[in-house]
């Protein structure tokens, strides 16, 4: 905790109530049994506590590195931007052993509804192995594992990722977040992302070729870009004293502050 005499304020990166990933109880994760849609790729909803699964992938004290920055997708004609986010062990385990494991078991349980066009039905282990993960791990251990997420870009502010910027001060506090832009999500920057499911579990089945795969895509709804100092560990998350009297509910900034 800080030794300053000013009241402590904790920054929350997105809308009030967005949980930190580590606070989620994945027993409340609900994955629909019946896919929706008539196209080759169908979707099944993923909800947490009855609503769209949304969480913050780190707290403001532990920003995550985006090694390549924001890719706007234009090079390959993509319709969405994307961002690779490095994941420490805790976040990696949350995805691998938590969310992805839950999706795989739901696929096994509902394989007749999801992959019924494949005859005979695939074995359970085949179903698990057919999961298409957006987590990338370096088997040699040279590089940090990353998660690739979608990022919506465009002129419609209601559908575009919200970017905020802040600075880490020498005393470990962060300045009040200010409005930013996608260009602030540059190569090697550090971010505090809020993620949400993008369409739920997607399911692709080709009966003629007897192939199938499925996966879960997340998109970043909010990104706090933190300009860190030399050291990036053991920080608290207090706002700088010069901002103590600022209105923490300024809708133009989107910051939420708790006393």
Q: What is the pLDDT of residue 171?
A: 77
Does the residue 42 lie in any domain? yes
What is the total count of domains within the chain?
1
Does the residue 18 lie in any domain? yes
Q: Say which residue, 56 or 257, is predicted with more confidence.
A: 56
Does the residue 215 lie in any domain? yes
Does the residue 223 lie in any domain? yes
Name the most confidently modeled range: 78-87, 137-146, 180-189. 180-189
pTM above 0.85, yes or no: no
Does the residue 55 lie in any domain? yes
* Residue 42: half-sphere exposure toward Cβ, Cα within 13 Å: 16
pLDDT tier at 182, thresholds 50, 70, 90: very high
Domain coverage including residue 100: 10-258
Q: Is 144 exposed, middle or buried (0-12, 13-18, 19+ CB in 10 A)?
A: middle
Structure tokens at 164: 């905020």
C-beta of residue 244 within 8 angstroms of C-beta of residue 7: yes
Does the residue 5 lie in any domain? no
Does the residue 3 lie in any domain? no
Q: Say which residue, 229 or 127, is predicted with more confidence.
A: 127
Sign of CA dihedral 177, 182, 184, 188: positive
Does the residue 177 lie in any domain? yes
pLDDT tier at 250, thresholds 50, 70, 90: very low
Beta bridge pairs of residue 202? 43, 215
pLDDT single digits (tens) 16-58: 579 999 999 999 999 999 999 877 899 999 999 999 999 999 9
């Amino acid at each position: 905790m800080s030794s300053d005499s000013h009241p402590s304020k904790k920054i929350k990166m997105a809308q009030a109530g967005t949980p930190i990933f580590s606070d989620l109880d994945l027993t409340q994760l609900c994955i629909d049994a019946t896919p929706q849609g008539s196209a080759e790729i169908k979707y099944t909803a993923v909800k947490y506590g009855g609503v769209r699964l949304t969480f913050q992938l780190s707290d403001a004290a532990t920003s995550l590195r985006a090694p390549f920055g924001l890719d706007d997708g234009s090079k390959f004609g993509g319709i969405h931007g994307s961002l690779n986010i490095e994941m420490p062990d805790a976040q990696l385990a949350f995805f691998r052993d938590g969310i992805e494991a839950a999706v795989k078991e739901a696929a096994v349980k509902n394989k007749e509804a999801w992959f019924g066009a494949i005859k005979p039905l695939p074995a359970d282990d085949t179903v698990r192995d057919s999961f298409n993960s957006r987590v990338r791990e370096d088997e040699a251990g040279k590089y940090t594992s990353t998660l690739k997420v979608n990022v919506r870009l465009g002129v419609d502010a209601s559908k575009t990722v919200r970017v905020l910027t802040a600075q880490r001060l020498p005393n470990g506090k962060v300045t009040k977040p200010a409005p930013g832009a996608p260009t602030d999500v540059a190569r090697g920057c550090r971010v505090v992302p809020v993620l949400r499911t993008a369409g739920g579990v997607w399911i692709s089945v080709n009966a003629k070729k007897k192939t199938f795969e499925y996966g879960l895509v997340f998109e970043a709804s909010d990104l706090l870009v933190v300009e860190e100092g030399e050291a990036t560990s053991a920080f608290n998350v207090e706002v700088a004293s010069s901002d103590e009297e600022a209105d923490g509910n300024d809708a133009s900034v989107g910051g939420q502050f708790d006393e």
